[in-house]
Structure 1
């Protein structure tokens, strides 16, 4: 057991305005605390920029802060998200790949904005108005601009309509394949967990999952509101076979999604396994 102690409940998947959430990292920690969370991870998309602010806020509230990131990956056009816990943020290979993904996000957002502007009143400054300086620009920021312009009611309508991947305005994002993403996280001393692995797109093919596991994948986020029961049952069998880590999280985005901190949590023993497995960085204890 580690010398330092954390307390549950633990929510290990929260987003701030440094990616596609609507609150500052400090506000995210305060919201988590208000909902009873006592150990929290900030997992913004492809960035660790909010760690310092979140850690200061969390520890001031008597919480444990567990640094994380949600890394983008793609498999045959499908988006796969790998939660990367306790990575070394200065690891050169990981930083290089994340920088490439972030650059792709920016180019993609500009291209999508140009396409949408042909049919809707929308400009690049409109989108930037909903994006914090240095944030990972993405479709949620375009969605927020569309809402502000009155073209859609909310992000959900934007994603199902104008920003739908099957629509004319959509542009694919560059991201590494999931096996490479797992290797990069492990190489940075982190613990990789697949986020919402049984969502609408279904579970990844068994051979891909096994290659990810052979590369060092530590487990799955099985308690998540987007997961489907059938897919969770399939993954449970793999968890039992390989003695994997299982997490539960809210995927909180502030006003960007209805998800609330602590609506799903990770058991203390699984949090401890993540801490004990990692070598990249350490939790920040109060």
Structure 2
């Protein structure tokens, strides 16, 4: 399959992005994307809109989702691609994963109040397209709006990262659960942006890859918006070591906030197997 510019990781207003699925499809097509997936956090409610928008843009498309899991006490993200978005077990699992977000958000607002920031829950809600998916990103946008910080990255550094005043941990799905939901729905599970898990030791990272593989995971994001050039090489080598297909995705959330625009990443290293080659039969092609 002759595809080089696939973007298989981005977010819409259905989770914590600022553009609609339709606007993302249009932007992807304008930026030369040849295969696109919308991967909202723990939510597949935007998949039909994404599929219709991709068809309208003449853009090949895969279903997608990004599932939050807890591994070794930390939050790790697993991207699912090419699954049946009507699968009952997947839908039920994602609903359960979303369930604790409001309680966590209210706890975050209470912690921010202790450091002199009132009204954070209500302020964050102004930025939420789907109330079931209120997240730290929505709080960050509110704190930028009120002048507490210069940008969302500044908010995370000062208030919302682990150990900071507004951080509240959340217990997500298990790694095996997330991989099973994806694979049993006919899709492929992919470790998202592994270079972002900075607190993992090499031993913990090896354990993540090993357990992921044992559960039936088949891919890893090698080229993604938060990886450095050195990390492209590191995770290309780990893809080969663990016999995983390689994925590519910008993790685009917003024109104003994201490090990398849709479709603007370097190509995958040539020695890797692109994950879309394993998903050829699941790609929806425009008529």
TM-score, structure 1 length as denominator?
0.87
> How many residues get paired?
278
Kindly state the Cα deviation for residue 122 of structure 1 after the two structures are TM-superposed: 2.4
Deviation at 1:88, TM superposition (A): 2.4
Residue matched to 2:17: 21
Cα distance in 2 for residues equivalent to 1:225 and 1:8: 16
Q: 1:76 to 1:210 in 2, by over 3 A?
A: closer
1:48 to 38, 44, 47: 44
Q: Within the alignment, does 1:260 sit opposite 2:261 as a pair?
A: yes
Alpha-carbon distance in 2 for matches of 1:205, 1:139: 25
Structure 1 runs not aligned, ≥5 long: none
> Does 2:73 align with 1:77?
yes
Q: Deviations over 1:43-89 (max 9, x none)?
A: 01000111122222221111112110001111122111100012223
Match of 2:161 among 160, 164, 175: 164
Question: Deviations for 1:189-234, whole angstroms, at most 9, x for unmatched residues?
Answer: 2100111112251564323311210211112101123235665555
Q: CA RMSD in A?
A: 2.4
Shift of 1:183: 2.3
Contiguous gaps of at least 5 residues in structure 2: none
Distance in 1 (CA, whole Å) between partners of 2:247 and 2:231 is: 15
Residue of structure 2 equivalent to 1:96: 92
**2-side partners of 1:231 and 1:215: how far apart?**
24
Structure 1 residue 36 displacement after superposition: 1.2
Describe how 1:1-286 pairs up with structure 2 within 5 A. 8-118=4-114, 119-134=116-131, 136-199=133-196, 201=198, 202=200, 204-228=204-228, 232-254=232-254, 255-264=256-265, 270-276=274-280, 282-286=282-286
TM-score by length of 2: 0.87
Contact 1:85 1:274 in 2 (8 A): no
